[in-house]
């Protein structure tokens, strides 16, 4: 029996309420990786072009801004 056949036969024993988990997992492992790569590259580009990415703040400044000091 092939792995595909084993999976299909096991699906019959999965309770209905757990099928959503199986579906989400299968969708995740079959997703188009080129789309995922493009998304990650866009995030990296956005991060790299952020003029404030290298700005640092002291703990005291953060506490004041957040109302903790």
User: Model confidence over 15-56: pLDDT tens digits?
Assistant: 999 999 999 998 888 878 888 888 899 999 999 999 989 999
Structure tokens at 34: 């080129």
User: What pLDDT, on a 0 to 100 scale, did the predictor assign at position 13?
Assistant: 94
**Structure-token match 């957040």, residue found:** 66
**Structure-token match 């999976």, residue found:** 7
Residue closest to 21 by CA, chosen among 36, 29, 40: 29
User: What pLDDT, on a 0 to 100 scale, did the predictor assign at position 69?
Assistant: 80
The contacts of residue 57 (CB under 8 Å, 6+ apart) are: 65
Residues in the chain: 69
Domain ranges of the chain: 3-48
Cα–Cα distance measured from residue 26 to residue 4, given in angstroms and rounded to the nearest whole number: 12
């Amino acid at each position: 029996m092939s792995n595909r056949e084993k999976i299909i036969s096991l699906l019959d024993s999965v309770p209905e309420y757990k099928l959503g988990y199986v579906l989400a997992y299968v969708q995740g492992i079959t997703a188009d990786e080129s789309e995922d790569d493009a998304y990650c590259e866009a995030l990296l580009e956005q991060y790299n072009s952020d003029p404030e990415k290298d700005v640092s703040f002291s703990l005291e400044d953060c506490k004041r801004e957040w109302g903790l000091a």
